């Protein structure tokens, strides 16, 4: 029996980046999944980076880590949140991966002495990887987002590979362009010409979009929809209006108003497997988010907020979404405020502003910048009994603060910041030290899913309701085992450890001493999803609401 036909939907950007191509891809994947099909969402990054691990979050946004440990673009996080499932390695593709593989193969005589060229060898490697994306879970369809916009030199080869797939399998490939329609302030009128030009440029590559998603500040009117249809050679009902929305979770429901699900299935010669479009649970979640009135105010204390004259919340997008998801589940409207840790270093009196919040989160990070400001904020949260949740670095710094001010370990610190500290309560593990000495940085941290063993009678064990849990990591430093006994004697509880009890995964202060003070060495935000909120975020917000 021959293998079922592979189906592909390619999502390509037009006019400009940053207008929601990743959310559009996530929404399309969710809609197709709701029709009874197995879907894999794929991100193509045209960068020469092999993965996203070495990218600066202030420039590229959050580095998302999948279960396997691969460091990816933040769009993979959206894919997992919308599809409510874990993704695999081959669903993230970069130019760096492609070129690295082809060059390595050439060096090992894999091409048997041929002249290795971009066409066909780079293109064919891309096609091979596109084909492989459908093999995971024997998916029915791969929704493939090609990063960048039409006209970028970097993504031309990926579009060319998609074109060849369309030529070889015309009934199995669909192209969707997400294009921006500006509304110049002085004119107040939506302009379609940039989109027309973007489509013409895509045509010059030999590709014709089947569907155009028109992104703009407001909904598309009939006049402009018809103009785009005629100018860009698509049916008017294949031009989808995508105005700005209050929540990204509204997008699949808005797309369905224009019947995009049926449009895609029809274009791929497929029939829905369910009699009705099963987005009922999704609709309930969205409805709950809209009806939440009472607020819960959370301070996120970090260092990636002040970038020039603007705030880059993309650096912490998974944390932000995890908080929103749990808040909506509890019927509350989250009020999130970015607080720069640096201001507490300059003026400790500013710590009093934390009294205005129901809870405090210190997220992950690296390096020494604003560390003392974070430690001051953690001390304030501990002493003033403000619910506190520390993630990765936020857990390590909570241990540092506790060691200094409760366990009386003078000058306690992490060796990441102070290699000469007299009390290195946080230190790099030996195998990581060897990698750094060899200057091997990319993809070498403790990455991906690891099992944690939870201690009976603790907050963590009660919240998870299980003895063993698996969470995703991204770090090099750990709690120094030489200090575990001293910290424990001082009242800090290590409620989660690695199965061999050598690595500390969760630190907490008992409930009879603090309403909620928990730090985790891992990143629970990577597994928080609208249809399955993360229990630790939910418990933290319950404490914040009581506060």
In a 10 Å sphere around its CB, with 0-12 CB exposed, 13-18 middle and 19+ buried, how is residue 359 labelled?
A: buried
Omega cis (within 30) before 120: yes
CA geometry: angle 304, 308, 312, nearest 5 deg: 40
| Cα–Cα dist 288/248, whole Å | 14
Annotation says 473 is catalytic: no
337: part of which helix (H) or strand (E)? strand 333-340
Residue of 71, 145, 256, 525 marked active site: 525
DSSP state letters, 470-513: EEEEEESEEE-GGGHHHHHHTT-EEEEE-TTS-SEEEEEE-TTT
**Annotated catalytic residue: which of 392, 471, 478, 534?**
392
Based on the residue annotation, tell me whether 169 is a catalytic residue of this protein.
Answer: no
CA angle, 396 then 67 then 91, to 5°: 135
Asked about 523 being catalytic, the answer comes back as yes
Task: Give the β-pairing of 92-94 and 39-45.
Answer: parallel
For the record, the structure tokens of 46 come out as 């045209």
**Which of 62, 517, 53 lies closest to 313, judged by CA?**
62
* Distance separating alpha carbons of residues 161 and 243, to the nearest angstrom: 31
Nearest-10 crossing angle of helices 193-204, 222-232: 20
Angle at which helix 95-107 crosses helix 123-133, to 10 degrees, equals 120
**Which of the following is catalytic: 238, 413, 523, 534?**
523
271: three-class secondary structure by DSSP: coil
Contact (Cβ atoms closer than 8 angstroms) between residue 492 and residue 399: yes
Q: Which residues contact 313 (CB under 8 A, 6 or more apart)?
A: 305, 320, 338
Please give the positions annotated as active site: 392, 523, 525
């Amino acid at each position: 029996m021959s293998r079922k036909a592979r189906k592909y939907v390619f999502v390509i950007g037009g006019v400009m980046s940053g207008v929601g191509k990743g959310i559009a891809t996530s929404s399309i994947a969710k809609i197709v999944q709701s029709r009874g099909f197995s879907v894999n969402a794929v991100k193509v990054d045209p960068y020469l980076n092999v993965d996203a691990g070495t990218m600066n979050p202030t420039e590229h946004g959050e580095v998302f880590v999948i279960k396997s440990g691969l460091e990816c673009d933040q769009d993979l996080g959206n894919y997992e949140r919308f599809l409510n499932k874990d993704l695999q390695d081959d669903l993230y593709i970069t130019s760096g991966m492609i070129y690295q593989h082809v060059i390595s193969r050439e060096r090992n005589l894999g091409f048997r002495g041929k002249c290795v060229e971009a066409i066909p060898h780079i293109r064919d490697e891309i096609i091979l990887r596109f084909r492989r994306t459908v093999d995971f879970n024997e998916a029915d369809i791969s929704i493939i987002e090609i990063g960048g916009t039409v006209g970028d030199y970097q993504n031309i080869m990926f579009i060319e590979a998609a074109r060849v797939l369309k030529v070889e399998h015309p009934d199995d490939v669909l192209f969707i362009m997400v294009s921006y329609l500006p509304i110049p302030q002085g004119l107040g009128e939506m302009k379609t010409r940039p989109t027309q030009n973007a489509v013409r440029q895509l045509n010059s590559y030999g590709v014709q979009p089947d569907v155009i998603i028109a992104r703009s500040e407001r909904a598309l009117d009939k006049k402009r929809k018809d103009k785009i249809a005629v100018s860009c050679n698509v049916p008017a009902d294949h031009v989808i209006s995508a105005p700005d929305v209050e929540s990204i979770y509204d997008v699949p429901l808005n797309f369905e108003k224009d019947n995009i699900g049926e449009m895609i299935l029809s274009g791929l010669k497929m029939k829905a497997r369910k009699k009705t479009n099963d987005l009922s649970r999704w609709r309930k979640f969205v409805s709950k988010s809209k009806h939440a009135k009472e607020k819960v105010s959370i301070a996120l204390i970090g260092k990636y907020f002040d970038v020039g004259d603007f705030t880059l919340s993309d650096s912490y997008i998974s944390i932000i979404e995890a908080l929103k998801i749990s808040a909506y589940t509890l019927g509350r409207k989250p009020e999130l405020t970015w607080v720069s840790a640096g201001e507490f270093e300059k003026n400790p009196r500013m710590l009093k502003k934390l009294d205005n919040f129901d809870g405090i989160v210190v997220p992950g990070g690296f390096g020494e910048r604003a560390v003392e400001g974070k430690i001051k904020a953690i001390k304030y949260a501990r002493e003033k009994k403000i619910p506190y949740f520390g993630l990765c670095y936020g857990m390590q710094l909570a241990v540092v603060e506790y060691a200094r001010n409760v366990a009386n370990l003078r000058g306690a610190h992490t060796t990441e910041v102070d290699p000469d500290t007299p009390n290195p309560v946080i230190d790099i593990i030996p195998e990581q030290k060897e990698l750094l000495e060899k200057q091997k940085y990319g993809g070498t941290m403790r990455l991906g899913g690891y099992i944690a063993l939870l201690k009976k009678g603790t907050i963590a064990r009660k919240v998870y309701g299980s003895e063993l849990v698996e969470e995703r990591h991204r770090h090099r430093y750990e709690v120094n085992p030489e200090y575990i006994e001293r910290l424990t004697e001082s009242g800090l509880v290590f409620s989660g450890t690695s199965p061999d009890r050598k690595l500390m995964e969760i630190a907490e202060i008992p409930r009879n001493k603090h309403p909620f003070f928990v730090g985790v060495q891992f990143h629970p935000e990577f597994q928080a999803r609208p249809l399955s909120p993360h229990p630790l975020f939910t418990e933290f917000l319950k404490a914040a609401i009581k506060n």
